[in-house]
Amino acid sequence: MIQDLAKRGHRVIALDLMGMGRSDKPTDKADYSLANHVDWMSQWLEAEGLSNITMYCQDWGGITGLNLLPFHGDRFARVIASNTGLPTGEGAGPAVDQWLAFVASVDALPISALIQGGTTRKLSAGELAAYNAPFPDGSYQASPLAFPFLIPVKPDNPGVPMCRDTWTYLATWTKPFLTVFGSEDQIAYKAGAHVRMQREIPGAANQHHVVIDGANHFIQEDASDRLVDIIDQFTKQDIN
C-alpha cells in the first residue's frame, strides 16, 4: 500500500506503535496504557509538525489514532477507519473474550500465526517471517501482550473515560470520515463498529462507506489494491 500510494503522488508515513515493529520496546507491561500510547503518538506528531493529514487507521491503530483527534484535530483533514472501533465499556463479544483469555494464558504470542488467522489469503513464508522478525521471543512482546487489555471493552477499564470523551468530540467532527471494513472481520465488522461511526459522526454522513467482500480483520493483507484506490480517491474529496 505504501509504495503504491507513493506512486500516486502521496507522502505516506506508516507509524509503528510503541513496542511494535521496529519501534523502541519498553519491557515492562506496566509502561503500556492507552493514555501512554496516545501521549507517545502526540509527542511524535508534534515533533514532526505534520498537517493536512489523511488518517488511515486499522485495529489498534484506530483506538490510538482516533483518540488523537480531540487533541490534534486541526492537523487532520480526513479519517478512514478500517476494521477498528472505539469501545466505551459496553462489554465484549465471544470472539474478544476468547482472545483476551488466550493472551492471558501465554508468555509469548505466535505473531505470524495470529496474522494469518485474521487474513483470508494465504501469506507467503517471507511475509510470515517479516511479521515475526521484530519479536525474537516473548521478552520483546510486552506491548502486544499488554495491548489487548488496554481496549476498554469492560466498564472498569481505565481507558473508558478517554474513549467517551473522544466520542463526544467525534459528535462535532464534520470533516470527511469514511469506514472501510472487511466482511469476514469478526472483531469490529460483526460487532457493528462501523454502524456506530456512520450514525454518530457528522462527517460520515453521505460518504460512500465500503464493506470489502471476503476481506478479513487484517484487511491490508487481503485488499491492499482496493484500499489504495479508496484512499487515493478519498484524499481528492473537498473539505467544506
Identified catalytic residue from 37, 185, 194, 222: 185
Q: Is 107 a catalytic residue?
A: no
Please report the pLDDT score of residue 51 as a whole number: 95
Length of the chain: 240
For residue 74, the 8-state DSSP code is G
Active site residue 185: yes
**Residue of 59, 74, 222, 238 with catalytic role:** 59
Q: Considering the domain 2-235 in this protein, what is its CATH number?
A: 3.40.50.1820
**What residue spans define the domains of the chain?**
2-235
pLDDT of residue 146: 95
pLDDT at position 238: 67
Instruction: Tell me the mean pLDDT in the region 59-74.
Output: 97
Under 8 Å CB-to-CB from 150, ≥6 apart: which residues?
Answer: 32, 33, 34, 37, 63, 157, 159
Provide Rg for the chain, Cα atoms.
17
Can you tell me the mean pLDDT for 41-56?
96
* 59 is annotated as an active-site residue: yes
pLDDT of residue 12: 97
Instruction: Look at the block and give the residue holding cell 483476551.
Output: 100
In angstroms, how far is the first alpha carbon of the chain from the final one?
A: 28
Q: Please give the full DSSP string across 216-236, using - where no structure is assigned.
A: -SSHHHHSHHHHHHHHHHHHT
Least confident of 23-37, 53-67, 168-182, 221-235: 23-37
| Single pTM value for the model | 0.95
What whole-number distance in Å separates Cα of residue 56 and Cα of residue 122?
A: 24
* CA gap 134, 149 in Å, rounded: 21
Burial 88-121 (b: 16+ CB within 10 A, else e): bbeebeeebeebbeebeeeeebebbebbbebbbe
Please provide the average confidence, as pLDDT, over all residues in the chain. 95
Q: What is the pLDDT of residues 105-160, one digit of tens each?
A: 999 999 999 999 999 999 999 999 999 999 999 999 999 999 999 999 999 999 99
The pLDDT of residue 239 is: 60
| pLDDT level of residue 92 (50, 70, 90 thresholds) | confident
**Spatial distance between the Cα atoms of 149 and 72, rounded to a whole number of angstroms:** 25
Measured CA distances, 19 to 47, 180, 202 (Å): 19, 26, 34
Q: Which listed residue (217, 229, 232, 238) is catalytic?
A: 217
Please state the rounded mean pLDDT for residues 178-198. 95
